[in-house]
Amino acid sequence: MRWYASFIYFVLYLPIAIIVIYSFNAGRYAMDWQGFSIQWYFKAFANPFAMNSLKISLTVGLWTAFLATIIGTLAAIGLERMRGWLRQVFDGLIYIAIMVPGVVIGIATLIAFVTVFKAVNPALAHMFGEHAPKLHMGLPTIIGAHVLFNLAVVILIIRSRLAGMDKSLIEASGDLYATPFGTFRQVVLPLLAPAILAGFLLSFTFSFEDFIIAFFVAGPNSTLPIYIFSSIRRGITPEINAIGTVVLVVSLTLLISAQFLLRGNARRPAGGARA
Amino acid sequence: MTIAAASSRRTTTALLVGPAAIFFVLLLILPLVVVVIYSFGERAPAGGYAPAFTFANYADLASRGKAFLNTLTLAPLGTLLCVVIAYPLAYFLALKASERWRTLLLVLVIVPFWTSQLLRIYAWLLILGHKGIPSFLALIGFDDVRLINTPFAVLVGMVYGYLPLMVFPIYVSLEKLDRRLLEASADLGASPWRTLWQVTLPLSLPGIATGSLLVFILLMGEFIIPAFLGGGKVFFIGNALVDLFLQSRNWPLGAAVSLGLVAIMLVTIVIYMRFVLGRGGDRRVALM
Amino acid sequence: MSKFDDTSMTSRRFMQELRRYQKGSVSRRHFLGVTGLGLATAVLGAAVPGLKPRPAFAAEDLGDTLNFTTWPNYFAQSNLDDFTKKTGVNINVSVFGSNEEMLAKLQAGGTGWDVFVPTNYTISTYKGLGLIEPLDLKRLPEFDASSQDPRFVGPGTVDGTIYAVPKDWGTTGYVINSDKVKGEMTTWKQFWDRTRGDLSGRVMVHDYQLTTIGNALKYFGYSFNSIDPKELADAEKLLIDSKPHLFGINSDYQPSMRNGDAWMSVCWTGDASQLHRDIPAMQYVIGREGGEIWTDFYAIPKDAPHRNAAYAFVNYMLTPEVNAKEILAHGYPSTDAKTNALLPKTVLEDPILYPAKDLLANLEFGAAATLTNPMRAEIMNRFKSA
Q: Is B239 on the interface with C (CB under 8 A)?
A: yes
Q: How far is A53 from chain C (nearest CA, A)?
A: 12
With CB atoms and an 8 Å threshold, state whether C111 touches A219. yes
Q: How far is B10 from chain A (nearest CA, A)?
A: 9
Print the domain residue range for B179: 64-277
Which parts of chain B register pLDDT below 50?
A: 279-288
Is B282 within a domain?
no
> Which pLDDT score, from 0 to 100, does residue B285 have?
44
Q: What is the pLDDT of residue B280?
A: 38
> What number of other Cβ atoms are within 10 A of residue B215's Cβ?
25
On whether any CB of chain A is under 8 Å from the CB of C110, the answer is yes
Q: Name every chain B residue with its beta carbon within 8 A of the beta carbon of A107.
A: 35, 241, 245, 254, 258
What is the amino acid identity at position A92?
A: G
Domain C170-293+351-385 has CATH 3.40.190.10: yes
Of residues C312, C293, C326, the one with CA closest to residue C73:
C326
User: H-helix or E-strand containing C332?
Assistant: none
Secondary structure of residue C168 in the 3-state scheme: strand
* DSSP tally for chain C: helices H, then strands E: 19, 12
Query: A110: which chain C residues are within 8 Å (Cβ-Cβ)?
Result: 108
Report if residue B125 sits inside a domain.
Answer: yes
pLDDT less than 70: residues of chain C: 1-60
Alpha carbon C121 to chain centroid, angstroms: 14
| AA identity, residue C135 | L
**CB-CB neighbors (< 8 A) of C100 in chain B:** 247-249
Please give the tally of structural domains in chain B.
1
Contacts of A114 in chain C (CB under 8 A): 108-109
- Residue C366's alpha-carbon distances to A28, C118, C131, C159, C171, in angstroms, are 35, 12, 20, 19, 11
Which pLDDT does position C214 carry in this prediction? Answer: 93
pTM of the model as a whole: 0.83
CA B249/CA B49 separation, integer angstroms: 9
Q: What is the pLDDT of residue C3?
A: 42
Q: C189 and C373 in contact (C-beta within 8 Å)?
A: no
Q: Is residue B128 part of a domain?
A: yes
Give the residues of chain A that fall short of pLDDT 70. Answer: 30-31, 130-132, 236, 262-275
Q: Does A240 touch chain B (CB under 8 A)?
A: yes
CATH number of the domain where residue B120 is located: 1.10.3720.10
**Shortest CA distance to C121 belongs to which of C146, C148, C154?**
C154
CA C9/CA C35 separation, integer angstroms: 7
A203, amino acid identity: S
CA distance C173 to A66: 54
Class of domain C65-168+295-342: alpha beta
Contact at CB, C252 and A233, closer than 8 angstroms = yes
Q: Do C110 and A230 touch (CB under 8 A)?
A: no
Task: Give the whole-angstrom CA distance, residue C340 versus residue C148.
Answer: 10
Measure CB to CB from residue A1 to each of B38, B96, B129 and give the nearest one.
B96
- C93 with A234: Cβ contact below 8 A: yes
How many Cβ pairs closer than 8 A exist between chain B and C? Answer: 92
Q: C215 at the A interface (CB within 8 A)?
A: no
- Rg, Å, chain B Cα set: 24
CA distance B196 to B148: 37
In a domain, B54, yes or no: no
Return the partners of chain B (3 or more C-beta pairs < 8 Å): A, C
Task: Tell me whether A266 touches chain B (CB under 8 Å).
Answer: no
Give me the pLDDT at residue A62, please. 95
Q: What is the pLDDT of residues C55-67, one digit of tens each?
A: 445 556 888 899 9
Question: What is the pLDDT, as a whole number, of residue A269?
Answer: 47
What is residue C32's predicted lDDT score, i.e. its pLDDT?
55
Q: For residue C381, give the nearest of B48, B146, B240 by CB distance.
A: B240
Q: For residue B284, what pLDDT is reported?
A: 42
Q: Are A148 and B96 within 8 A, CB to CB?
A: no
Residue C144: φ, ψ to 5°: -120, 105
Task: Tell me what pLDDT residue B187 has.
Answer: 85
Cβ atoms of A157 and B288 within 8 Å: the answer is: yes
| Beta carbons of B19 and A115 less than 8 Å apart | no
| C33 Cβ under 8 Å from any chain A Cβ | no
* DSSP H or E segment with residue A5: helix A2-22
Contact check, Cβ <8 Å, B66/C104? no
Q: Rounded to an integer, what distance in angstroms lies between the CA atom of residue B115 and that of residue C10?
A: 63
pLDDT value of position C268: 94
Nearest chain C CA: its distance from B226 CA (Å): 12
The residue of chain C with its CA nearest to that of A114 is: C108
Among B249, B253, B257, B261, which would you mutate to test the C interface (most chain C Cβ atoms within 10 Å of its Cβ)? B249
Q: Which of A101, A205, A236 sits opposite B122 (nearest CB)?
A: A236
Contact B16, A77 (CB under 8 A): yes
Closest CA to B205 of B119, B285, B101, B122: B285
Q: State the complex-level ipTM.
A: 0.83
B47, B146, B247 ranked by CB distance to C98: nearest: B247
User: From the list B45, B246, B250, which residue is nearest C378 (CB)?
Assistant: B250
Alpha-carbon span A13 to A19, nearest angstrom: 10
What Rg, from alpha-carbon coordinates, does chain C have?
23
Cα–Cα dist C284/C332, whole Å: 13
Selection from C282, C280, C277, C278 nearest residue C265 by Cα: C282
**Sequence spans of domains, chain C:** 11-51, 65-168+295-342, 170-293+351-385
Q: Which amino acid is at B226?
A: P
| pLDDT at site B276 | 67
What pLDDT was estimated at residue B1?
A: 57
Determine the Cα–Cα distance for residues A67 and A201; give it in Å rounded to an integer.
Answer: 12
CB contacts of C248 in chain B (<8 Å) are 149, 231-233
Packing angle of the helix pair B117-128, A238-266 (nearest 10 deg): 130
Domains of chain A: 51-237 (1.10.3720.10)
Q: Is A140 on the interface with C (CB under 8 A)?
A: no
Residue of A nearest to C94 (CA): A230
- The answer to whether the CB atoms of B241 and A104 lie below 8 A apart is yes
pLDDT of res. C272: 93
Q: Measuring CA to CA, which residue among A45, B32, A60, A52 is closest to residue C112?
A: A52
Give the C-alpha separation, C320 to C334, whole Å: 10
Q: A171: which residues sit within 8 A by CB, 6+ positions away?
A: none
| Distances, alpha carbon A107 to alpha carbons A112, A137, A213, in Å | 8, 13, 8
Q: Alpha helices of chain C — where are they, by DSSP H?
A: 11-23, 28-35, 37-47, 77-87, 99-108, 123-128, 150-153, 188-195, 209-219, 229-242, 254-258, 269-278, 307-318, 320-330, 337-340, 345-348, 357-361, 368-372, 374-385
What is the longest distance spanned by two Cα atoms in chain C?
80
* Three-state secondary structure call for residue A20: helix
Cβ C95–A234 below 8 Å, yes or no? yes
CA distance C207 to C209: 7
DSSP label at residue C336: B
- CB contacts < 8 A (A, B): 217
Report yes or no on B163 lying in a domain.
yes
Contact yes or no for A26/A35 (Cβ under 8 A): yes
CA A189, chain centre distance (Å) = 22
Query: C2-44: per-residue pLDDT in tens?
Result: 444 444 555 566 566 666 656 656 666 665 555 555 455 555 4
What sign does the CA torsion over A181, A187, A189, A195 have?
Answer: negative
How far away is chain A from the Cα of C278, in angstroms, using its nearest Cα?
A: 14
Look at residue A274 in the predicted model and tell me its pLDDT.
Answer: 41
In a domain, B43, yes or no: no
